[in-house]
């Protein structure tokens, strides 16, 4: 079966029939005064729309995205790599994968040899001069990043099979990737 997308409106809570969001899934959560990028398993209250009124859960199987509307109901979108969509998602569209890209994220890895307080566990902590703030991304660092590697958000671009609705973009993964040579 091919990728598909559908939506649900007027929800009071997140649908119970979502795909199993295991430890490998990521959360991108947004609130008026906060944001969070983490593994789903590390965010116990991801499903509380009063805490996180907007967000997305994503991984290899697909992406679930929501936004809390002014009437305190959720508008939700589910894109799966392989359908069918579970209830209550309706108006499914078949999709064709167009391309995959790795978007560069903010920050340079904080080397604990240079700044132990900024990164005492040698984890995925990246300092962004532009913000300025240390960003922590849910990347599994197997080794110290090389000088030309940067954190990336892997995304996939899709087009609906009827070519009437335009492109859809979904998040897939976080990786460390070397800058390409010019």
CA distances from 37 to 29, 42, 139, 163, 169 (A): 7, 10, 10, 32, 18
Element (H, E) at 65: strand 62-68
Across 155-172, b (16+ Cβ under 10 Å) vs e yields bbebbbeeeeeeebebbb
Q: What is the mean pLDDT of residues 3-28?
A: 86
Task: Give the pLDDT score at 23.
Answer: 57
What digits encode the pLDDT tens for the residues 89-100? 988 899 999 999
Indicate yes or no: pTM above 0.75. yes
Tens of pLDDT, residues 43-75: 989 999 999 999 999 998 999 999 999 999 999
pLDDT digit string, tens, across residues 118-175: 899 999 999 988 888 889 999 988 888 887 899 999 999 999 988 777 899 999 999 9
Task: Name 99's Cβ contacts closer than 8 Å, sequence gap at least 6.
Answer: 156, 157
Helix (H/G/I), strand (E/B), else coil: 40: helix
């Amino acid at each position: 079966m091919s990728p598909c997308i559908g939506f649900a409106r007027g929800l009071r809570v997140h649908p119970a029939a979502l795909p199993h969001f295991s430890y490998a899934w990521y959360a991108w959560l947004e609130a008026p005064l906060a944001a969070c990028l983490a593994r789903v398993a590390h965010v116990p209250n991801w499903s509380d729309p009063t805490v996180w009124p907007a967000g997305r859960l994503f991984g290899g199987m697909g992406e679930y995205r929501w936004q809390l509307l002014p009437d305190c109901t959720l508008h939700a979108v589910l894109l799966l790599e392989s359908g069918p969509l579970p209830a209550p998602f309706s108006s499914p569209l078949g999709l064709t994968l167009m391309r995959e890209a790795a978007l560069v994220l903010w920050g340079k890895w904080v080397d604990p040899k240079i700044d132990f307080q900024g990164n005492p566990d040698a984890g995925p902590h990246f300092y962004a001069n532009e913000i300025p703030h240390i960003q922590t991304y849910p990347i599994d660092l197997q080794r110290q990043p090389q000088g030309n590697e940067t954190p990336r958000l892997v995304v996939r671009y899709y087009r609906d099979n009827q070519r009437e609705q335009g492109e859809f973009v979904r998040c897939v993964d976080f990786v460390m990737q070397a800058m390409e040579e010019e």
